[in-house]
Structure 1
Amino acid sequence: MIAATAIAVSVFVSFQVASELMDRKLLDAAEDQLHADSRVLATNAERAGLAQVQLPPYPGSGRLVRVILSDGSTRTPAGQPALPPVSEQAGRVAEGASIDLLESTDWNEGYRVYTLRVGDGAVQVADLADDSPVNQFGFGMLLIGLLCVAGGALVGRSVARAALAPIDRLTAAAVHVADTRDLDADIPDEGGGEIRQLIRSINDMLAALRDSRQAQRLLAEDAAHELKTPLTSLRLNVELLIRLDRRGTLDSSLPAESRTRLLNDLGAQVAELSTLAAELTEVARGDVSDESTELIDFADVVVAAAARARSRMPDIEVALDVSSVWVSGRPAALQRAVLNLIDNAGKWSPANQPVHVRLRAVGASAILEVDDAGPGIDAADAPRVFDRFYRADSARALPGSGLGLSIVQRVVDAHSGRVTAGRSTRGGALLQVGLPAASPPTGSQWFTAGNGTAVR
């Protein structure tokens, strides 16, 4: 419709311009012919006189002539149709009152009349105003315009359907995905330009959705597996207490020492479930967070995480050696990552050996190192320590969910950093985090006090 309308407007404008030009051209040609014929008649009239000049009989078609005498009377050829009466302007030309030559166009009764002063009178040459050539031209243009509009509509429809065919298939594929939830149906990469780019973008989106759904499924399966063991143990212990209580043999069948051990076991299992639920929530949230990114001193984050770790593990000493390094990030997420690193080191560090936490600027990066004096990470386990729910065989008996280092990996990745695991000089594990450093807003610096606390 747009193509047909554009062609129709173009044809109409072209017709109007061409008709106007053609009409002017024909009018100029007719007036030139009248001028030439009048001069021939004027030459003959000057030789023979206006009253005696021979006026050939009217041939039945063509130009019309008339002689205006000095008394205002007129002479016309025999058999010639009557011309309109002599106009006032033509009479003044014949009388010589104004100018010798006056060109006038008189459209009354469809005549064009040219008046030329000759002697004491004038001669006139006229012809019928014939608009048939313009009308025929307009009719031809109308037919051509209609054909162009019809052809433009057909061609425009064909081109539009061919161009929009990939969009139709894209729409059908999107409807199929919405109806069936089948994310494996890639859309054929066809078309060109923006359409091909759109199809590729949607295919990339479907691939991302497939990966997200696969990760969600794996998370659910791993979570179910990890929850199974503590829930089973918790249920068995609770069922044992309920059964003994119903029989009234709780005190006799379960000595105080065993009861205390059982209650402690229940408390530990509940704490483990609470920790696992919190970490599952953190992992399930992914990168979605309401916390905004801001310019922070990473040393503040590390000091706050160390304080929380001391309250959670009072038996483990945390030795700080930090200096001021500014980064752009989310404070709460970074603090959670640092706390997980310290908690992980605290689980392995002997009671008489501190967990060392160091922060310094190296080039354009902020480098955080957390190491312990434990048994370290086996070479076979190093590539997988940051996987979700992965726990080395030596860590099965220790509390934890296997999600702590996975959360660290996700937070560091979200801040365009890197995290690696290796062996420290003390023989234990060395976990190193590198984040892009930022320019500090002030010149404040940190230094480490003798008790291992970082102060300004």
Structure 2
Amino acid sequence: MSRPAGRLTRWWRRRSLRTRLTVIAATAIAVSVFVAFQVAIELLDRELQDTARNQLRADSRVLATNAERSGLAQVPLPPYPGSGGLVRVILPDGSTRTPAGQPALPAVSEAAGRVAQGASADLMESTGSDDDGYLVYTLRAGDGAVQAARVADGSQNNRFGWGMLLIGLVCVAGGALVGRTVARAGLAPIDRLTAAAVRVAHTRDLDADIPDEGGGEIRRLIRSINDMLAALRESRQAQRLLAEDAAHELKTPLTSLRLNAELLIRLDRRGTLDSALPPESRTRLLNDLGAQVAELSTLAAELTDLARGDVSDESTEVLDLADVVVAAATRARSRVPDIEVALDVTSVWVSGRPAALQRAVLNLVDNAGKWSPADQPVGVRLRAEGAWAVLEVDDAGPGIDAADVPRVFDRFYRADSARALPGSGLGLSIVQRVVDAHGGRVTVARSARGGALLRVDLPAAVRQPENSAPS
């Protein structure tokens, strides 16, 4: 792109939409006026030419009639009045006669001479330029010819052109004014929308919906922004609830941890740690501290996972869900050696994020392990049912009360019977979020062994060939 064109492009991009609409309207009118001007000039010129030719033919026929009646040498030629058409008689010998006082016409052309000699009946010809010349019509008459001529005058076209130019300038100015007015009226909803958006940005008030006005694209834009504000309100409300719930859940373990730590510090400063705390009590206290730190670590990790929502750098791939389930069961056994997991899995391929799915399965196994008696394993089954991969995790515990089922996947919700057990109340909430993100569903029922049965349904995927890479 050349430098002037680049500067023009940058200038155009810096203009407001109102200015652009004004320039476009004025340019469109200017182009229309220019085209109309050219067409009108052409039509006017043709009309004037046709009128002049017809007039010359009529004058020549009158003069030819008189010449045939009186003879070319005797036909009367009144003195030139000072304006109007010009005439001339061409005699057989090639000489000419003109009215007294008439301006001299150009010499008789060879073509006109041939008409006078009888080679053709008539001839229309132009001499000189359109603005400084003559239009001459030659008509055979008797033994010679007669001619009628007029001076080519472009003044009428020029006057018409200047008039059209003046009208065009007025139209361009009017078009710019109309374009500015239309742009201002058409963009008024955009201005109000901008002001409302600026107000929301300054006040942080997401509850102030923008009035739905205008039509077509403007209305769709306003509705889209209102939907965005509603989504932001929901997100902020969810963040506030998460922070409030997290503060509430962190209060108890942090208080217990602080009290135990302060007790140890105080006894150590007094030098009575060994005497005040027998070895058994000290071991129990240190174990409590370790358990509280582990619980806080788990809670912090789960809060981080929930706060991230569906945002993840992990890519989606086609994977065998059986591998994910086996890996999650192995991790559960390593974290809680007393837990026993009975696996019954078949290969089922799904499209998903491996780490997120493994976290969900691990939470299901951990939750079942809390309730399953020591002599009863946690049952984990994976199979394919039609277009779905079905994962079931059950235990032989007391099961979930009917009153707790509607809230079992809520954040930080813990049934009364579970408050004495370790946990944050976030595990099943994370499970539901991961399953929802993968287009599946999770339900709760009672297992055949009397405990809880949690079922996860995920859309199955077609296994890719070994030599193909995931897209």
What amino acid does structure 2 have at the position aligned with 1:188?
P
Q: Which runs of 5+ in 2 are unaligned?
A: 1-22, 467-471
Indicate the larger mover: 127-136 or 290-299: 127-136
Q: 1:30 aligns with which of 49, 52, 63?
A: 52
Residues 256-291 of structure 1 deviation map (CA, whole Å, 9 limit, x = unaligned)? 111111111111111111111111111111101111
Indicate the larger mover: 368-377 or 117-126: 117-126
1:287 aligns with 2:287: no
Q: Which residue of 2 aligns with 1:44?
A: 66
What amino acid does structure 2 have at the position aligned with 1:269?
Q
What is the aligned-residue RMSD (CA, Å)? Answer: 2.0
What amino acid does structure 2 have at the position aligned with 1:203?
N
Q: Which residue of 1 aligns with 2:29?
A: 7
Q: How far apart are residue 130 of structure 1 and its match?
A: 3.6
Residues 93-123 of structure 1 deviation map (CA, whole Å, 9 limit, x = unaligned)? 3762864533222247553222233344332
1:171 aligns with 2:184: no
Contact 1:64 1:127 in 2 (8 A): yes
User: Aligned equivalents of 2:114 and 2:55: distance in 1?
Assistant: 20
Q: Which residue of 2 aligns with 1:234?
A: 257
Q: Which residue of 2 aligns with 1:208?
A: 231
Q: Which residue of 2 aligns with 1:393?
A: 416
User: Aligned equivalents of 2:104 and 2:399: distance in 1?
Assistant: 124
1:149 aligns with 2:172: yes
Contact 1:94 1:118 in 2 (8 A): no
What amino acid does structure 2 have at the position aligned with 1:101?
D
Q: 1:89 aligns with which of 110, 129, 132?
A: 110
User: Aligned equivalents of 1:274 and 1:292: distance in 2?
Assistant: 26
1:129 aligns with 2:155: no
User: Aligned equivalents of 1:235 and 1:69: distance in 2?
Assistant: 136
Q: Say which SS state the counterpart of residue 232 (structure 2) adopts.
A: helix
User: Aligned equivalents of 2:105 and 2:140: distance in 1?
Assistant: 18
Q: Which residue of 2 aligns with 1:105?
A: 126
Contact 1:223 1:280 in 2 (8 A): yes
What amino acid does structure 2 have at the position aligned with 1:386?
F
Residues 123-156 of structure 1 deviation map (CA, whole Å, 9 limit, x = unaligned)? 2111233434434433443343334323322322
Contact 2:339 2:377 in 1 (8 A): yes
What amino acid does structure 2 have at the position aligned with 1:45?
A
User: Aligned equivalents of 2:107 and 2:339: distance in 1?
Assistant: 128
1:442–1:146 distance in 2 versus 1, CA, 3 Å? closer
Q: Which residue of 2 aligns with 1:422?
A: 445
Contact 1:93 1:115 in 2 (8 A): no
User: Aligned equivalents of 2:240 and 2:164: distance in 1?
Assistant: 70
Indicate the larger mover: 168-177 or 340-349: 168-177
Contact 1:421 1:432 in 2 (8 A): yes
Q: Which residue of 2 aligns with 1:115?
A: 138
Q: 1:300 aligns with which of 302, 319, 323?
A: 323
Q: Which residue of 2 aligns with 1:350?
A: 373
User: Aligned equivalents of 1:250 and 1:172: distance in 2?
Assistant: 67
Q: Say which SS state the counterpart of residue 158 (structure 1) adopts.
A: helix
What amino acid does structure 2 have at the position aligned with 1:5?
T
User: Aligned equivalents of 1:92 and 1:384: distance in 2?
Assistant: 115
What amino acid does structure 1 have at the position aligned with 2:395?
D
Indicate the larger mover: 277-286 or 100-109: 100-109
Residues 306-338 of structure 1 deviation map (CA, whole Å, 9 limit, x = unaligned)? 111111222121011111221111111111100
Q: Say which SS state the counterpart of residue 319 (structure 1) adopts.
A: strand
Contact 2:115 2:123 in 1 (8 A): no
User: Aligned equivalents of 1:400 and 1:113: distance in 2?
Assistant: 113
Q: Say which SS state the counterpart of residue 342 (structure 2) adopts.
A: strand
Q: Which residue of 1 aligns with 2:361?
A: 338
Contact 2:124 2:135 in 1 (8 A): no
Alignment of 1:215-294 (within 5 A): 215-294=238-317
Q: Which residue of 2 aligns with 1:20?
A: 42
- TM-score w.r.t. the length of structure 1 is 0.92
1:382 aligns with 2:405: yes
Residues 360-391 of structure 1 deviation map (CA, whole Å, 9 limit, x = unaligned)? 11222111111111111111111111111111
Q: Say which SS state the counterpart of residue 233 (structure 1) adopts.
A: helix
Q: How far apart are residue 437 of structure 1 and its match?
A: 1.5
User: Aligned equivalents of 1:52 and 1:158: distance in 2?
Assistant: 73
Q: Which residue of 1 aligns with 2:10?
A: none
Indicate the larger mover: 47-56 or 334-343: 47-56
User: Aligned equivalents of 1:425 and 1:265: distance in 2?
Assistant: 36
Tell me the matched-pair count.
442
User: Aligned equivalents of 2:174 and 2:438: distance in 1?
Assistant: 60
1:159 aligns with 2:158: no
Q: Which runs of 5+ in 1 are unaligned?
A: 444-456
1:199 aligns with 2:219: no
Alignment of 1:364-383 (within 5 A): 364-383=387-406
Q: How far apart are residue 184 of structure 1 and its match?
A: 1.7
Q: Say which SS state the counterpart of residue 211 (structure 2) adopts.
A: coil
Contact 2:90 2:116 in 1 (8 A): no
User: Aligned equivalents of 1:251 and 1:94: distance in 2?
Assistant: 145
- TM-score w.r.t. the length of structure 2 is 0.89
Q: 2:343 aligns with which of 320, 323, 336?
A: 320
